[in-house]
Amino acid sequence: MSMRSWGAAMAAGALTLSLLAAVPGAQASEDSADTAGHGNHARTVGYYIQWGIYARNFVVRDLVANGTAAKLTHLNYAFGFLDAQGKCVSADPWADYQRPFPAEQAVNGRADEAGQALFGNLNQFRQLKQLFPNLRINISLGGWTGSKFFSDAVLTPESRAALVSSCIDMWLKGNLPGAAPGAAAGIFDGFDLDWEWPASEGNPGNGIRPEDKQNFTKLLKEFRDQLDALRRTTHRHYDLTAFLPADPAKIDSGFEVRNIFRYLTFATTQGYDYHGAWESTTNQQSALRTPAADPTSPKFSSQVALDALISRGAPRNRLVMGVPFYSHGWTGVNPANFGLFQPSTGPAPATFEAGTEDYKVLKAQLSRFTVYRDNRAGFAWLFDGTTFWTWDDPVEMTRKARYVNDRHLGGVMIWSLDADTTSGELIAALHRELSR
């Protein structure tokens, strides 16, 4: 899983509807609170994408300029890969540690100079940590296109030990190929495991075995054991986190939920991609609760994913709910029901990939759309009569952060930080509500 009769008198972009009655039977159930608190201690975890420095022209300095860095507790760098031998490798050495940054793109405002020990995004992270010493930066391993070799790499005790040792040597001890020994030491505070997915199909061609489920737990134990051994030398605490799927079937196939939290600092949950333009019918991609009128089965929402994990033994104060800073879209959409749950002719045109667009891009086009909200299920969308986009704006970010507070969850996780505006309005909305 990676997801007009009413409007005749409306001016596009001018009206927001509350669909408390528009979607018949939309669920509005609330969950009882438990005793796990968080309040101002909620985590705000953001993914910074390695490839953002290219066509997106989003550099680490932009996290400072738009106010994002000051609002993060954790930054996940996406992604490091595994090779066919089951060892950690850089997915893009140029972006990671070879690219010189000019002064206008550097966090410290000084151009990189020939002969320095480290370049690239990693050197910019080092400068970022000088400005924000409490910010924890973790290297994320895997992702949709980088999970091919996980199943092989975790198959035996020896292969797991070799994998973890290579990851620690490269990313924590900072021994990068072609760079001075230890050039990147001290930049990363731990690992975020984004294996998509143990024992379930992700990107075509990934290795999959039924024993992935048990081996994932064993991999976490190996990471924790080796990280604890390193801590005795460096006297630093290291994070170990994991990205967990929204689909309860994938959770059951690939994760011993109660056991993995023996080793994890916290886990992030998939709070998006419930539906998208890979389907022909429009739908929500990040609803808090499942709308009863949703014609698909099984039904997905953040509440479905979180309840599945909690019921299987996950501590809610260590579940960090994912939120999207992007939209999924369709075009050629039937105008009935304001475009929701309607057939389309295909993905909506977009900047980099048809059917997916950054919040900041759609925000600039907002005048052509009307915003609709389902306040019971907790989601919104844009529609102009033919093009439909899912829509997570500051109103929805506030709603999501309030949900995290009300359920005593462990915070929010953002995919991905480059899609926010130059003023950082989405993360600002999250921060305001989480800080209450």
Catalytic residue numbers? 196
Cis status, amide bond into 94, omega within 30 of 0: no
Closest CA to 403 of 369, 426, 434: 434
Query: Rounded to whole angstroms, how far apart are CA atoms 137 and 197?
Result: 23
Strand 190-194 and strand 239-244: the pairing is: parallel
Q: How many CB atoms lie within 10 A of CB 239?
A: 18
Of 351, 352, 337, 426, give the one whose Cα is nearest residue 388. 337
CA angle 319, 321, 322 (to 5 degrees): 140
Is the sign of the CA dihedral 389, 424, 73, 126 positive or negative? positive
Print burial letters for 373-400: b (CB count within 10 Å at least 16), e (below 16): bbbbbbbbbbbbeebbbbbbbbebbbbb
Residue 377, token pair as written in the block: 């299920």
Write the CB contacts of 320 (distance below 8 Å, at least 6 apart in sequence).
43, 45, 266, 267, 268, 269, 409, 410, 411, 412, 413
| Alpha carbons 266 and 318: distance in angstroms, whole number | 5
Cα–Cα distance measured from residue 415 to residue 326, given in angstroms and rounded to the nearest whole number: 8
Is residue 286 within 8 A of residue 390, CB to CB? The reply is: yes
> How far apart are alpha carbons 141 and 195 in whole angstroms?
7
Count other Cβ atoms within 10 Å, centred on residue 34.
12
CB 410 within 8 A of CB 38: yes
What phi and psi, each to the nearest 5 degrees, are found at residue 16?
Answer: -110, 125
Give the strand pairing for 74-82 and 88-90: antiparallel
179-189 burial: b if 16+ Cβ within 10 Å, else e? beeebbbebbb
